[in-house]
Amino acid sequence: MLSALESILLSVATSEAMLGVLGNTFIVLVNYTDWVRNKKLSKINFILTGLAISRIFTIWIITLDAYTKLFFLTMLMPSSLHECMSYIWVIINHLSVWFGTSLGTFYFLKIANFSHYIFLWMKRRADQVFVFLIVFLIITWLASFPLAVKVIKDVKIYQSNTSWLIHLEKSELLINYVFANMGPISLFMVAIIACFLLTISLWRHRRQMQSIGSGFRDLNTEAHMKAMKVLIAFIILFILYFLGILIETLCLFLTDNKLLFIFGFTLSAMYPCCHSFILILTSRELKQATMRALQRLKCCET
């Protein structure tokens, strides 16, 4: 049985997961409707749709995994359910971070303003940049998957034989976990670089606007601010997500603290939930679709 505090925290995490599924499903439906209407899916809509779908799977996996460990841990020992979910999570997690990084790269190439020849080359060959990101995704998959397999097998061995914990160094567990996630971390660093360069581009643009005596925020400034909100939110929420998954993993190995485990689940559920609503609020098309949906609901109520 869970304590009152554990139950409240689990309810918060579950609500985050449900809202995340709702928000990401809404993004998918809006972009799918636009695709059917226009017979064409733009690059940004493709990225947003892929990001939303991968996050829906992420939410279901981390939620199912958390509830299974909290209430049905005995199911994991004789079966390979946890192992199967872990392999799926490794693949989906890479995809989710890749789509998030691609979104940041898209904003950077579309909005930033630099005269450096490398940036101009990338801007003219945006499609090749995304091909490079796909190749980078495959390489990081291949490089990190063997370590991920080792961590997953270590978890399976530990669940079947608790005495194995004696032979496991805490530092070894942490190192293996970090290196198993080097793929998403590497992609995440690309998003940080894109956000940093966008910040520089905005700073230079605002200085240029001040030098010509313009006291108004132009469209370029608005676009910079919108993109930076999305990227900064992605960076902060992904860090919380990574810490949440790390806490859940350490709780499984090092301590039997349900409250700490549920706290990790709450942190990890914030990323796919909150960022989807940030995307909705910062996108004109998604915001308009939300207003239309709310108006229809209001009409149905009356």
All domains in the chain, ordered by first residue:
4-301 (1.20.1070.10)
Quote the pTM value: 0.86
CB contact at 8 A, 112 and 198: yes
Helices (H), 72-211: 73-76, 81-111, 117-124, 126-160, 170-180, 182-211
* CA dist., res. 203 & res. 212, Å (int): 15
CB contact at 8 A, 168 and 81: no
Coil/strand/helix, residue 209: helix
**Would you write out the chain's pLDDT as a tens digit for each of its 302 residues?**
678 888 899 999 999 999 999 999 999 999 888 888 888 888 888 899 999 999 999 999 999 888 887 877 655 444 566 677 778 888 888 888 889 889 888 888 888 888 878 888 888 888 888 888 888 888 887 877 777 777 666 666 655 554 444 445 556 666 776 777 777 888 888 888 888 888 888 888 777 766 665 555 567 777 778 888 888 888 898 899 988 988 887 776 666 678 888 899 999 999 888 888 888 888 888 888 888 877 777 776 65
46: CB partners within 8 A, 6+ apart? none
Coil/strand/helix, residue 130: helix
Q: What is the pLDDT of residue 52?
A: 93
* CA dist., res. 139 & res. 210, Å (int): 44
- How far, in whole angstroms, is CA 205 from its chain's centroid? 29
Nearest one of 62, 57, 4, 2 to 28, comparing CA atoms? 57
- How far, in whole angstroms, is CA 73 from its chain's centroid? 27
CB contact at 8 A, 99 and 49: no
